[in-house]
Structure 1
Amino acid sequence: MKSMLPIRERRTSADRRKNDETIAAELAAAFAEGQIEVLYQPQFACEDGSLVGAEALARWNHPARGQIGAEAMFSLAARAGMSERLTRHVAARALDDAAGWRAPLRLSLNVTAADIAAPDFADALTAIVGQASFPPDRLTLELTEHALVRDIEGSARQLARLAADGMRLALDDFGAGFCNFRYLKVLPLHYLKLDRSMVEGIVTDPRDLAILRAIVALAGALDIAVIAEGIEREAQLAAVRAEGCVLYQGFLRARPMDAGAFAAFARDGAGGAPGDA
């Protein structure tokens, strides 16, 4: 039976399939050839500036397209049906690196909607953590609001299993899109991570500062700590510290760095004794 789709639509569909197949082949080569790089964005305690750990950030050093950032890379992986494989690849790399960090430095890993939707997500991640011999109570999983929209109850069950093993959970990019307060009720969260857009204007705009103050108060009432992202000025740091944020990260103190540079930074350049916030 002939397709009822117009010729143009059939061609477009075929082109998309071919493009997705190309992406899948390129990603497979990237895994095999070490093109996926993991960088580390240091995180600090607001109270005393001590280094507490780092967030793992993946980059794809594509031989033809140049460097592809994490958001674009995971979008491509989703099109090729390889999101879970990519997350697990990055997690294994980061955990291997972090296994050599001095205690109690923490590692933060990002997880996607596809990861959380996978029935074996909790088991697979627990196995990867065990293989790296990294203490689960020094691991934080960062989840975006978008990653949880599809099935909040299912997400809560998966995440509760990981929290029971000692892992901490952060709701990432808070304030970047719509804020579903049901997440704060249902999910076993330890942190809210403010999107950089929530801190950009806190020094100059009283309304922005008032919103920050309200979020920190709400989080405190729920026994959830607040992390400020995108701190680039001393005045911003002073403000988030004064309002009760616990951790921060941003270019003010450090930019993302490779594993060797982070190890040296933690050893020689971080200053202060690491805390366990």
Structure 2
Amino acid sequence: MLPIRERRTSIDRRKNDETVAAELATAFARGQIEVLYQPQFSCDDDRLVGAEALARWNHPLRGQIGAEAMFALAGRAGMSERLTRHVATCALGDAADWAPHLTLSLNVTAADIAAPDFAEALTTIVDKLSFSPGRLTLELTEHALVRDIEGSVCQLNRLAAEGMRLALDDFGAGFCNFGYLKVLPLHYLKLDRSMVEGIVSGPRDLAILRAIVAMAGALDIAVIAEGIERTAQLAAVRAEGCAFYQGFLRARPMDAQTFAAFARDQETGTAAIG
């Protein structure tokens, strides 16, 4: 039997998880989970190519809770899969109204990859909303893969076979297991912002970027640079051969309605930069 203090801690934790589960259920019902969209652009011509979906929880008491903290809370409450499917349904519903050449990027968690029915569930959502699988990119981090690499490969191969695109997110922020590049059906490497911060003034930073882009090119994997905040950074990633970029230099995350208007303005050439 656990000591009294540990039993109380366990009970308190369970009650807290139950509270979070109830609050999340309410958030789903009342539309408190908001999806914002971070525009993504082509390095070649600055053309808008799509957006990354970023979920936020507008909690009535705690204020705005970001995606990382929200999914951590959902995981402890046993609601991670439900949250992912809710966000995916909302984002795909919004993106279904975009111009057909624009893509949507969705983040995938470790719990998602671990769920044996994840590929089937996501495919069902895509089919139900009549969204072209080729317009959907799934962004996964190394953290999401380390639990069960064989299971991850199986799930991701199935999704790739459906036509979905796969990106290894936050590349350079972790331990960079290059083995993933051999076994995963990747289409993109997404550089962590830490990999582009010093490329303008740091020769070693630039050399590392150049090496990553060369390696990715040899594997027929396109490179996406995130965290682009300065014109000089954009010039550098463009010169080194990155395919796409996103960051505050061009646009900040925006709600669905604002993104739809932004995309229309981009098509007509009336969108402002910044």
TM-score, with length taken from structure 2 = 0.97
Q: 2:151 matched to 1:154?
A: yes
Count of aligned pairs between the two proteins:
269
The correspondence of residues 180-259 of structure 1 with structure 2, limited to 5 A, is 180-259=177-256
Report if aligned partners of 1:43, 1:55 keep a CA contact under 8 Å in 2: yes
Counterpart CA distance in 2 for 1:235 and 1:166 is 35
| Structure 1 segments (4+ residues) deviating >4 Å | none
SS in 2 for 1:239: helix
Counterpart CA distance in 2 for 1:132 and 1:257 is 22
Counterpart CA distance in 1 for 2:144 and 2:40 is 23
Amino acid at match of 1:36: I
Amino acid at match of 1:153: E
Equivalent residue in structure 2 for 1:15, among 12, 15, 28: 12
Counterpart CA distance in 2 for 1:271 and 1:177 is 40
Judging changes above 3 Å, is the alpha-carbon distance between structure 1 residues 157 and 77 closer, same or farther for their aligned structure 2 residues? same
The correspondence of residues 49-60 of structure 1 with structure 2, limited to 5 A, is 49-60=46-57
Amino acid at match of 1:97: D
Question: Shift of the alpha carbon at 1:269?
Answer: 3.8
Q: 2:89 matched to 1:92?
A: yes
Amino acid at match of 2:216: A
Q: 2:126 matched to 1:129?
A: yes
TM-score, with length taken from structure 1 = 0.96
The correspondence of residues 60-71 of structure 1 with structure 2, limited to 5 A, is 60-71=57-68
Report if aligned partners of 1:199, 1:236 keep a CA contact under 8 Å in 2: yes
Give the gaps of 5 or more residues in structure 2: 270-274
Q: 2:222 matched to 1:261?
A: no
Report if aligned partners of 1:153, 1:186 keep a CA contact under 8 Å in 2: no
Judging changes above 3 Å, is the alpha-carbon distance between structure 1 residues 56 and 160 closer, same or farther for their aligned structure 2 residues? same
Question: Shift of the alpha carbon at 1:213?
Answer: 0.7
Higher RCO, 1 vs 2 (CA within 8 Å, ≥6 residues apart):
1
Question: Shift of the alpha carbon at 1:49?
Answer: 0.2
Q: 2:116 matched to 1:114?
A: no
SS in 1 for 2:254: coil
1:166 match? 163
2:24 match? 27
Residue deviations 1:72-95, cap 9 Å, x none?
000000010111000000000000
Report if aligned partners of 2:48, 2:266 keep a CA contact under 8 Å in 1: no
Identity %: 84
1:275 match? none
